Chains A and B, each alone.
Chain A
């Protein structure tokens, strides 16, 4: 009983005392906002980059844009996301006063875009070349064929991979504390440093991430099964 009593006391000190649970809910809110908008930015950047890259591969055009895209992919995928975050906050926006949330969205969006780009590109490349030829033979130019024929098919093929990328992104935002942004992880850590009690706040943080990731993974699984079913007609 004594153990249970002290556990309840610890729970109280960690989360209830001084309304500390607010650190977790506010942090969670920040984590979700950053993830959501970074995912949006990642999708836009990723699709643009992928279209530039695959257009260059298929037609030999857009050489300069393709070089920029390649540079972007190499730099982003070749350096740790924490370093990118720090550079964007402390170097690029050193003398500009913008909210940390926005900086985090930019950093994670920029990072995610590079991975989305390779997923989308693999999706475009997986579409049979005959589809491009069929579009062309009907008088549809490359952008029209891409938009109406290729991308809808590619998107369908890569939907599960894209969803997984955003699950990874959700977890990756946990390094946002490096620029003192109070996300979920940082929120838990603030409680830890206030109560000198590490176990409960960190486990709570882990459980919240886990629940979100498992729920999202379930959704992806559902989506995959739905797509597989409609494939069989």
Chain B
């Protein structure tokens, strides 16, 4: 579904990504871990071109994202959901409007259809009673669940998660991870940057370790955690586990 070829990204003379190549298949749950500054968030943000790659190619559903005109890019982004560390809900809109504004303004649904979809999604994330409230009235965990519902409203083919639980109070991490687990079980293709090793072990179909702007090691989670080969990964795991 997503093919990445020799992806490079630098800010000025500072190389963040130094040539990343990988293929993400439909239905895969790829979890990316690594120390801070390893480039994992930048990699994720290149996948939907929130960051413009310096070199390399990203092929999404057979189309080259990197050389695409902006107009086409927005159409592609409709199919690539993203969930942010700091939620980025729209504070001036009710929860319902947060979920419906994109499908309605993009002409994919009329307000009635979108409202119906929002009701389904709110039920799914367990927040049906919050439809008419505003984001500031919600806890962090609830905000992130709404953010996930908002991206689901676009019927995406893949969702990118950028440290979705890093800004949450510890007692709220579980509710968000459980929802993500549910999505994974339903077959959603997911690329997740996280520090939650338990989630990686349990949900990932493949775990990827990034350090210094390259993928150092990737494997299915059992082997990845039981038998890490790269010394840097071993050192990293010994610190976080």
Contact = CB atoms under 8 A, between A and B. Distances in A.
Interface of A: 128, 130-131, 133-141, 144, 148-149, 152-153, 156, 231, 233
B224 interface: no
A120 to B, nearest CB: 16
A139 B151 contact: no
Contacts of A128: 88
Interface residues of B, number: 29
Given A144-B105, A148-B101, A148-B105, A137 B81 contact: yes
29 contacts: A128-B88, A130-B84, A130-B88, A131-B88, A133-B50, A133-B82, A134-B84, A134-B88, A134-B90, A136-B50, A137-B48, A137-B77, A137-B80, A137-B84, A137-B151, A138-B151, A139-B74, A139-B75, A139-B78, A139-B154, A140-B74, A140-B102, A141-B74, A149-B90, A149-B101, A152-B92, A156-B92, A231-B136, A233-B136
A139 B70 contact: no
A138 B50 contact: no
A152 to B, nearest CB: 5
A141 B71 contact: yes
Interface string B191-231: 00000000000000000000000000000000000000000
Interface of B: 48, 50, 70-71, 74-78, 80-82, 84, 86, 88-92, 101-102, 105-106, 134, 136-137, 150-151, 154
A137 B136 contact: no
Contacts of A138: 77-78, 81, 102, 106, 150-151, 154
B91 to A, nearest CB: 7
Nearest to A153: B92
